[in-house]
């Protein structure tokens, strides 16, 4: 079947289903899928839009944790489907509720303050339920600063998972001191900032850090030796641990982890004035001003009307040269860029840029390509090509097959409720074990964000 014929067939099925179906799509999806979408957005916008729709069937073009989120917020009569059940997220796989409970219980004993768990939207229902059962919530890259601040302002600390870079960039955005932030490694070891320890250069500022408690038992058991080691470490570092405001898990997004300060420097050299060295940043020094002045807006570093952050904006022939990145990038990359923000913030900032301006974008490649196609009055290039391969699993053909299953389900329901032809393809459900608490966590995020508007 030709691409044109396939597109026509999918559109025909879509039209036949009318308002009974809604198709949300994430920005990272392929153009052929995005063209079929009823609404497009980042994970927060899609969560809110899905919660607002009355359509009986939600065919979610994104990865599994997003479809799970839609299923959690769905009304009782709604059904959520995804074109490919294997479209997962490696970062979401980097922590589960069993690991979270183990480390949460331990850091709660270390810290005098109540610790609120906040899980990034890029997580599965068990982690959202873990947070909801402990007065915690969910965040996205567009609202992480607002969500974390909400709890810090109440005198509470935060356990933030799973994306380390987003956690650290959020801490920087809030102006937290490095010794107020504790890193939780995936082997359950705890790393503390320690300016007096020699022999370890911290990637942020050349200061020191150390592991205070290595818990490498593969069963994550509670042996007497393990508890003894924990108590011994906690006593040594009691002051730092008691005043810690953020405990950050060290997961990562492979799409955004690849971007470097050298990528930014290469872009500035290519589009800037080679003779002046405008905008070039020494990688070893880029973090010296991380705790410096920042835009007060949540989730944003830099301002389209200002000179941006540490690296500044170069100007060639009257055209602004800009670097904008996602906060899942390393903090050195965020600091060297002119702007940092969520997928929607990136889209809106580039869209609002001056005609003739040049933009290097540090995020998913297809999204950057779409901006280049949409904003032809500007030059938009990828900081580096980095593709989300799980988003690539959602194809037009799979979307068409899913829509046909909805059509068959409606037909089968009318004729025979037990008909095999009426069986839905790739329906996403959430275990009753997680549903109530996970929905509670998601709803709290929406309530906190929407209350501030």
- Is 430 contained in some domain? no
Q: In tens digits, what is the pLDDT along the chain, a chain of 453 residues?
A: 678 899 999 999 999 999 999 999 999 999 999 999 999 998 888 988 998 999 999 999 999 999 999 999 999 999 999 999 999 999 999 999 999 999 999 999 989 899 999 999 999 999 999 999 999 999 999 999 999 999 999 999 999 999 999 999 999 999 999 889 999 999 988 887 443 433 333 334 434 444 444 333 333 345 555 555 555 554 556 677 888 999 999 999 999 999 999 999 999 999 974 433 444 444 444 433 333 333 333 444 554 433 333 345 665 545 589 999 999 999 999 999 999 999 999 999 999 999 999 999 999 999 999 999 999 999 999 999 999 999 999 999 999 999 999 999 998 754 444 444 467 999 999 999 999 999 999 999 999 998 876
Residue 434 contacts residue 126 (beta carbons within 8 Å): yes
Q: Which of 138, 132, 141 is nearest to 168 (CA)?
A: 141
Encode 318-355: b = buried (16+ Cβ within 10 Å), e = exposed: ebbbbbbbbbbbbbbbbbbbbbbbbbbbbbebbeebee
Q: Give the CA count within 13 Å in the CB-facing half-sphere of 171.
A: 28
Do 109 and 222 lie in a common domain? Answer: yes
Q: Which of 269, 50, 249, 266 is nearest to 163 (CA)?
A: 249
Say how far apart CA 65 and CA 199 lie, in whole Å.
40
Do 114 and 237 lie in a common domain? Answer: yes
Do 284 and 314 lie in a common domain? Answer: yes
pLDDT of residue 302: 53
Do 82 and 103 lie in a common domain? Answer: no
- Is 338 contained in some domain? yes
Say how far apart CA 301 and CA 312 lie, in whole Å.
11
Burial zone of 406 (CB within 10 Å; 0-12 exposed, 13-18 middle, 19+ buried) = buried
Query: Which two three-digit tokens encode residue 79?
Result: 């059904």
Terminus-to-terminus CA distance in the chain, angstroms?
Answer: 48
- Is 448 contained in some domain? no
- Is 279 contained in some domain? yes
> Which residues touch 89 (CB under 8 Å, ≥6 apart)?
63, 64, 65, 122, 390
Domain span at residue 332 reads 259-382
Do 108 and 248 lie in a common domain? Answer: yes
Q: Give the 3-state secondary structure of 356-386.
A: CCEEEEECCHHHHHHHHHHCCCCEEEECCCC
Do 106 and 250 lie in a common domain? Answer: yes
pLDDT of residue 284: 41
Last-in-domain residue among 254, 274, 295 = 254
Say how far apart CA 121 and CA 371 lie, in whole Å.
24
Encode 56-93: b = buried (16+ Cβ within 10 Å), e = exposed: bbbbbbbbbbbbbbbbbbbeeebbbbbbbeebebebbe
Q: Name the pTM for this structure.
A: 0.82
Instruction: Name all contacts of 366-373 with Cβ < 8 Å and 24+ positions apart.
Output: 366/28, 366/29, 366/30, 366/31, 366/391, 367/27, 367/28, 367/343, 370/27, 370/31, 370/34, 371/346, 371/347
Q: Are strands 246-249 and 181-184 parallel, antiparallel or unpaired?
A: parallel
Do 314 and 362 lie in a common domain? Answer: yes
Do 138 and 204 lie in a common domain? Answer: yes
State how far Cα 363 lies from the chain centre: 11
- Is 308 contained in some domain? yes
- Is 367 contained in some domain? yes
Last-in-domain residue among 382, 409, 439 = 382
- Is 76 contained in some domain? yes
Q: Per the structure, how many domains does the chain have? A: 3
Do 136 and 48 lie in a common domain? Answer: no
- Is 439 contained in some domain? no
Last-in-domain residue among 226, 254, 282 = 254
Partner residues linked to 189 by β-bridges: none
Say how far apart CA 308 and CA 324 lie, in whole Å.
10
Residue 83 contacts residue 394 (beta carbons within 8 Å): yes
3-class secondary structure, 316: strand
Do 74 and 44 lie in a common domain? Answer: yes
Do 82 and 118 lie in a common domain? Answer: no
Do 250 and 264 lie in a common domain? Answer: no
Say how far apart CA 233 and CA 241 lie, in whole Å.
10
Residue whose tokens read 């390393």 = 330
Sheet containing strand 181-184, edge to edge, reads: 137-139, 115-120, 157-161, 246-249, 181-184, 190-193, 209-213
List the CATH number of the domain containing 322. 3.40.50.10800
pLDDT of residue 353: 95
Residue 204 contacts residue 261 (beta carbons within 8 Å): no
Say how far apart CA 151 and CA 68 lie, in whole Å.
25
């Amino acid at each position: 079947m030709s691409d044109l014929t396939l597109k026509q067939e999918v559109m025909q099925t879509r039209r036949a289903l009318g308002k009974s179906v809604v198709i949300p799509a994430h920005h990272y999806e392929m153009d052929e899928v995005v063209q079929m979408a009823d609404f497009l957005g980042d994970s927060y916008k899609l969560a809110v839009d899905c919660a607002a729709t009355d359509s009986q069937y939600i065919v979610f073009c994104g990865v599994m944790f997003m479809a799970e989120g839609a299923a959690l917020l769905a009304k009782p009569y709604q059904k959520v489907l995804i074109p490919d059940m294997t479209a997962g997220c490696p970062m979401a796989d980097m922590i589960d509720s069993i690991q979270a409970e183990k480390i949460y219980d331990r850091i709660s004993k270390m810290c005098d303050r109540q610790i609120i768990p906040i899980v990034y939207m890029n997580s599965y229902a068990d982690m959202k339920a873990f947070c909801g059962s402990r007065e915690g919530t969910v965040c996205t890259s567009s609202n992480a600063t607002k969500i974390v601040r909400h709890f810090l302002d109440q005198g509470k600390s935060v356990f933030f998972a799973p994306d380390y870079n987003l956690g650290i960039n959020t801490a920087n955005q809030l102006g937290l001191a490095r010794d107020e932030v504790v890193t939780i490694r995936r082997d359950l070891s705890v790393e503390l900032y320690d300016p007096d320890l020699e022999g370890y250069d911290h990637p942020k500022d050349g200061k020191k850090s150390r592991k205070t408690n290595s818990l490498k038992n593969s069963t994550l058991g509670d042996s007497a030796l393990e508890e003894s080691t924990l108590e011994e470490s906690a006593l040594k570092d009691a002051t730092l641990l008691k005043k810690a405001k953020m405990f950050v898990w060290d997961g990562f997004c492979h799409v955004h982890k690849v971007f470097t300060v050298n990528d930014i420097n290469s872009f500035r050299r290519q589009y800037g004035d080679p003779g002046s060295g405008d905008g070039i940043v020494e990688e070893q020094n880029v973090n010296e001003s991380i705790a410096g002045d920042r835009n007060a807006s949540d989730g944003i570093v830099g301002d389209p009307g200002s000179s941006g952050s540490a690296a500044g904006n170069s100007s060639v022939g009257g055209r602004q040269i800009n670097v904008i990145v996602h906060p899942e990038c390393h903090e050195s990359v965020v600091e060297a860029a002119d702007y940092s923000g969520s997928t929607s913030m990136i889209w809106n900032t580039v869209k609002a840029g001056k005609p003739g301006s040049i933009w290097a974008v540090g995020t998913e490649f297809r999204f950057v390509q779409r901006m280049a196609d949409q904003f032809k009055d500007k030059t938009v290039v990828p900081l580096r090509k980095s593709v989300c391969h799980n988003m690539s699993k959602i194809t037009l053909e799979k979307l068409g097959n899913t829509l046909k299953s909805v059509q068959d389900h409606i037909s089968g329901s009318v004729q025979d409720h037990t008909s095999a032809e009426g069986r839905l393809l790739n329906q996403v459900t959430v275990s009753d074990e997680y549903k109530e608490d996970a929905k509670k966590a998601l709803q709290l995020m929406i309530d906190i964000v929407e209350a501030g508007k």
